[in-house]
A and B are shown apart, each in its own frame.
Chain A
């Protein structure tokens, strides 16, 4: 919980990872390129005081994660959103066993979402059923630019993905987190386009589709579909650290999201360990749209409470203590 100016904020960090990118886990040059890209994101957008060394960044382990999120970071509940990256790392990038063990060791603090890859076809569907039972899955994280064999990406409206989404419906996996990456088949198309999310959201109205980093670098495409599909949500991973380097740009992002979506469909994510949650939460609670940017209304405390935790808590059925809830709306 974060307390500021007499307000209590319940914090759900909706996108965290426990990764291992150390050289011994890298399969090839792409494993190094991938973590170097993350580290440049980290260095480019973090305040000086929050910068990690490269060695810390390669692997930080469960104890460090617990401290950064729950001791220093005000987080009440965090959701693992692992990326497999099986073509780049021996045991994968996100460490399934370590993260799941941590989830069991700290009941009520962590939710483990897993991934699926529709290109595994029937075998992957069987695996999804096993994973759902073992992890008690409420959500999955899909990285559409995952490399597999000679394929370097898939879409949400591929026929096999639909089979997997149907299985999610059946298994009660309601929250589909989508992370778009740079590769897709065919390369003729824009890999970051979210038109496939639009189709899937239209066809699976009982599933929630959380588009991570709110569609960036295609904020406009994301806003256009999200305004029309009430089951499409925005994750703030990657977007929120701009609050430090370019607060006016962050004001535009949050202003556009509140305009095209609404305050109930935006979720805070630190994207840990890309960034640490403490400073992001402190800055966001204090953040206001600059006065001269009067095309956007000022942010309210209620909106900030929803974004920082209440929205994701509602999506995942996480219990919120009474002092952090918003007053019930008066019945007309």
Chain B
């Protein structure tokens, strides 16, 4: 493969690597600081917003990047290096040796990072569900929060938030048929009618948290590496949701009776 073609393929492959916490490709976040492809040798340097970004997520992104690049037909030798992190030496040694998660972190690793990935797939789904349903509520003032329990995927307009929701559902192994209910728990089950406003509200706090972190991490990366600004793409999934405003305001309140919420809605 010619260097330019390999480079383009490598760039595209890195676009499939996500930051699990921020639910965005590392290329859009500006985490790829350099990429060279020459005679089948692909070398990538990654950078993060701080030295103290969580090492488990840092490792996930770096090892996913190496896997994605190694799968390219024209890549004979792949080197992925994480720069300026408190665990750079540890992670870079592990990547070079293809030591895997346990081989890299030794006694600090118990099994694998699959449960961690799953937790963040669930969060990404909750946030996408909130965006899609809040967009629907805004477009249809006749619709109340309580009625969201009857909304199926086929009721959602073909917009970016809906397509994002379908992708997150597929990633989590949930159904994507037009007849499937839209407001569901992590296992795809609808909520009891009395819980719907509370569950939407909780999904909103997930969305605020992830979007807030994504903005902060972008900003910190630019502060740390001023030359990273042109590499960052605007965050796509919240662009249609500037205020995150919900039309049905103040309609819900969490249980105030001390410790009973957990029993009631667990």
What is the interface of chain A, defined by CB distance below 8 A to chain B? 29-30, 33-34, 36-37, 40-41, 43-44, 150, 152, 181-183, 185-192, 202, 216-220, 223-224, 227-230, 242, 245-246, 248-249, 252-253, 256, 259-260, 262, 290, 292-297
A227-B261, A228-B261, A228-B262 in contact; A187/B51 too (CB < 8 A)?
no
State which of B4-12, B34-42, B111-119 sits at the interface with chain A: B111-119
B249 touches A186 (CB 8 A): no
The one of A242, A259, A293 that contacts B243, using a Cβ cutoff of 8 Å: A293
- Among B105-126, those with CB < 8 Å from A are 105, 107-113, 115-116, 119, 123
Asked if A33 and B220 sit within 8 Å, CB to CB, the answer is no
Are the CB atoms of A188 and B109 closer together than 8 Å? yes
The answer to whether the Cβ of B171 comes within 8 Å of any Cβ in the partner chain is no
Query: Which residues of B196-211 have CB atoms within 8 Å of chain A's CB atoms?
Result: 201-202, 204-206, 208-209
How many of B's residues come within 8 Å of A, CB to CB? 53
Chain B contacts for A44, CB-based, 8 A: 216, 219-220, 223
**Which residues from B are CB-within-8-Å of A152?**
108
Complex alpha-carbon distance, A187 and B54, angstroms = 9
**Chain B neighbourhood of A297, CB < 8 A:** 250
Contact of B51 among A37, A229, A252 (CB under 8 A): A37
Given A188-B112, A256-B205, check contact A246 B215 (CB 8 Å): yes
B52 proximity list for chain A (CB < 8 A): 33-34, 37, 181-182
- Of all chain A residues, the one with the shortest Cβ separation from B250 is A297
Partner of B54, one of A192, A216, A262, A294: A192
How many angstroms from the CA of A36 to the CA of B85 in the assembled complex? 12
A299 to chain B, nearest CB (A): 14
CA distance A219 to B261 in the complex (A): 18
Q: Is the CB of B209 within 8 A of A183?
A: no
Inter-chain contacts of B243 with A (CB < 8 A): 248, 290, 292-293
A34 touches B51 (CB 8 A): yes
Known: A29-B86, A33-B52, A224-B205. 17 other contacts (CB 8 A): A34-B52, A37-B50, A37-B51, A186-B108, A187-B55, A187-B109, A190-B56, A191-B54, A191-B56, A220-B123, A223-B202, A227-B254, A260-B205, A293-B244, A293-B245, A294-B245, A296-B249
B21 within 8 A of A: yes
Pair A41/B220 contact, Cβ less than 8 Å: yes
Shortest C-beta distance, A233 to chain B (Å), equals: 15
- A188-B56, A219-B209 known; A33+B86 contact, CB < 8 A: yes
Residues in B whose Cβ lies below 8 Å from that of A37: 50-52
Does B259 lie within 8 Å of A253, measured CB to CB?
no
How many inter-chain contacts with C-beta < 8 Å in the A-B complex? 136
B51-67 vs A, Cβ < 8 Å mask (1 yes, 0 no): 11111100000000000
Known: A220-B206, A249-B212, A252-B244. A182 touches B55 (CB 8 A): yes
Q: How far is the CA of A189 from the CA of B224 in the complex (A)?
A: 27
6 contacts between A and B (CB under 8 A): A44-B216, A182-B53, A187-B113, A217-B209, A219-B209, A296-B249
Contact of A260 among B53, B206, B215, B254 (CB under 8 A): B254
| Closest chain A residue to B56, Cβ basis | A187
Q: Please report the C-alpha to C-alpha distance between residue A40 and residue B47 in the assembled complex, in whole angstroms.
A: 15
Pairwise interchain contact B223-A40, C-beta atoms closer than 8 A: yes
Complex CA gap A230/B51 in Å reads 35
B258 located at the interface, meaning its Cβ lies under 8 Å from any Cβ of chain A in the complex: yes
* Complex contacts, B245 vs chain A, CB 8 Å: 292-295
Within 8 A of A (CB), among B77-111: 84, 86, 105, 107-111
Q: Do A253 and B212 touch (CB < 8 A)?
A: yes
- Closest chain B CB from A166 CB (angstroms): 21
Complex CA–CA separation, A29 to B245 (angstroms): 44
Chain B residues whose CB sits within 8 angstroms of the CB of A188 once the complex forms: 56, 109-113, 115-116
By beta carbon, the residue of chain A nearest B256 is A262
Known: A30-B86, A186-B109. A43 touches B261 (CB 8 A): no
The answer to whether B116 and A253 have CB atoms under 8 Å apart is no
Chain A: minimal CB distance from B159 (Å): 21
Q: Which residue of A lies closest to B252 (CB)?
A: A259
Q: Is the CB of B54 within 8 A of A182?
A: yes
Closest Cβ of chain A to B244, distance in Å, is 7
Collect the chain A residues with CB atoms within 8 Å of residue B110's CB. Answer: 186, 188
Q: Is B213 an interface position by the 8 A CB rule?
A: yes
Does residue B237 face the partner (Cβ distance < 8 Å to A)?
Answer: no
Chain A residues, Cβ within 8 Å of B262:
228
Q: How far is the CA of A43 from the CA of B216 in the complex (A)?
A: 12
What residues of chain A lie closer than 8 Å to B68, measured between beta carbons?
A: none
A-B complex: 4 closest residue pairs judged by Cβ atoms: A33-B51, A186-B110, A182-B54, A220-B205
Cβ contact within 8 Å between B259 and A229: yes
Inter-chain CA distance A190–B105, complex, in Å, is 15
| Complex Cα gap A259–B205 (Å) | 10
Which residues does chain B contribute within 8 Å of A262, judged by CB atoms?
A: 256
A246, closest chain B residue (CB): B215
Contact A189 B212 (CB under 8 A): no
Closest B residue to A239 by beta carbon equals: B212
Question: Looking across the interface, which residue of chain A has its beta carbon closest to that of B198?
Answer: A227
Which residue of B is nearest A147, CB measured?
B86
**Which residues of B have CB within 8 Å of A40?**
49-50, 220, 223-224
Query: Looking across the interface, which residue of chain B has its beta carbon closest to that of A257?
Result: B205
Assembled-state Cα–Cα distance A191/B255 (Å) = 28
